[in-house]
Amino acid sequence: MQKICLLGSTGSIGINTLNVIRENKHLFQVSCLTVNSKTELLSKQIAEFKPEVVVIRDEKAADNFRKICSSKVEILSGEEGLLNATRDLEYDILVSALVGFAGLAPTIEAIRRKKRIALANKETLVVAGKLITEMANKNGAEIIPVDSEHSAIFQSLVGEHENSIRRIILTASGGPFRHHEISELGKVSVADALNHPNWSMGDKITIDSATMMNKGLEVIEAHWLFNLEADDIEVVVHPQSIIHSMVEFIDGSIKAQLSIPDMKLPIIYALGYPERLKNSFTVTDFTKIGQLTFFEPDFSKFECLKLAYDVLSQGGTAPCILNAANEIAVNKFLTEKIGFLDIPKIINDSLNKIEVVSSPDIETIFDCDRKTREFVELNY
């Protein structure tokens, strides 16, 4: 029986992870659930999965929940509670489904404890990829990707030699604005940007998909996961989201992982690896799909994707600056304080104003994240 510590249990990845566990209760047991503030859904999850510990990052929400919770569960709160749970609790697999920079510190704690990390929090590798991969190798901690694209690459590389890879091809849906002209993007609303054609995701990730920053972050993450340079990582727009990504080998062969869009598949693969676990939730019917199409991404329209390639080449704390500026800019767009095209502008400005440190330690990365957020909050 594998014990699961699930960070972000009320988000889309967290809910899908619990769906997987529900169908495999003979294999997995929940030891910890963490949320930001959605305690109503957390209460239902506690009743069903009976974790030993829950963490509520929002202190006020935690205080209120302690007053009404009737379950015999330990309730921790705040960032310290999150770190204490990942540092001290007994578990076998950490599912890191937090959104943004917040996923970095608890993932470090799990790596120090030599745990398997089912990584859905791409920002961990974006902002600190060199340090995280070195730490994981030193401690013997497994990092299994949960993003559908990186899971597809990971699965395609099973049994292959690293030196046989020519390139990897990350597929992108193109989001809701694939057919828009640049001139139209300045007028799009929050509701327009949240209307993703294929996937059901949280607000932040959905906006990242609309700007194609999500794909840019995946390019940086792929660099660290698969030890490839930027020139060996290609992005292709694939509107059907059936091919989740591909690997081309030096002999010209291409391997891909395909299925209808369903995040439960990469989750169950990460939890069960190296075994494949039987499930009843996904069937792919190619006769109903009909056709698969592919297009080159428009880097002039989706500037965020270009910026991600740029900071990957620059290295150091540049990806950290990009990530922090993007997180704050997306939040400002969601609260209608800025327009859609202001997002890449703010990221560009941040990269020009914040000093890039070429060889940062972990303290420098946290400091860079803080400085960038303060810059964006103060100036926009």
Total number of domains in the chain: 2
Please report, in tens digits, the pLDDT of each residue of the chain (380 residues total): 999 999 999 999 999 999 999 999 999 999 999 999 999 999 999 999 999 999 999 999 999 999 888 888 999 999 999 999 999 999 999 999 998 899 999 999 999 999 999 999 999 999 999 999 999 999 999 999 999 999 999 999 999 998 999 999 999 998 888 888 888 898 899 998 898 777 667 889 899 999 999 999 999 999 999 999 999 999 999 999 999 999 999 999 999 999 999 999 999 999 999 999 998 887 899 999 999 999 999 999 999 999 999 999 999 999 999 999 999 999 999 999 999 999 999 999 999 999 999 999 999 999 999 999 999 999 99
Residues 132, 105, single domain; the answer is yes
Is the distance from CB of 85 to CB of 107 less than 8 angstroms?
A: no
Residues 46, 166, single domain; the answer is no
9 contacts: CB under 8 Å, gap ≥ 6: 15, 17, 18, 33, 34, 35, 42, 45, 97
Q: Which two tokens stand for residue 201?
A: 């995701």
Residues 13, 91, single domain; the answer is yes
Phi and psi angles of residue 308, each rounded to the nearest 5 degrees, phi first = -65, -45
Residues 211, 191, single domain; the answer is yes
Residues 154, 268, single domain; the answer is yes
Q: What is the DSSP letter of 57?
A: S
227 contacts: CB under 8 Å, gap ≥ 6: 162
Is the distance from CB of 148 to CB of 205 less than 8 angstroms?
A: no
* 133: CATH: 3.40.50.720
| Within-domain flag for 352 | no
| Within-domain flag for 235 | yes
What tens digit of pLDDT does each residue of 88-117 get?
999 999 999 998 899 999 999 999 999 999
| Within-domain flag for 268 | yes
Question: Which DSSP string corresponds to 93-122?
Answer: EEEE---GGGGHHHHHHHHHTT-EEEE--T
Residues 234, 114, single domain; the answer is no
Residues 8, 26, single domain; the answer is yes
Segments forming the whole domain that contains residue 55? 2-145
Residues 118, 206, single domain; the answer is no
| Within-domain flag for 20 | yes
| Within-domain flag for 40 | yes
In which residue are the tokens 């930027």 written? 230
| Within-domain flag for 204 | yes
Domain end residue (candidates: 121, 145, 169):
145
Residues 297, 261, single domain; the answer is yes
What tens digit of pLDDT does each residue of 124-165 get?
999 999 999 999 999 999 999 999 999 999 999 999 998 999
| Within-domain flag for 351 | no
Residues 186, 136, single domain; the answer is no
Percentage of the chain modeled with pLDDT above 70:
99
Residues 131, 26, single domain; the answer is yes
Residues 161, 276, single domain; the answer is yes
Domain end residue (candidates: 89, 119, 145):
145
| Within-domain flag for 337 | no
- For residue 200, the model assigns a pLDDT of 67
Domain end residue (candidates: 145, 179, 211):
145
Q: Measure the CA–CA gap between 361 and 128, rounded to whole angstroms.
A: 9
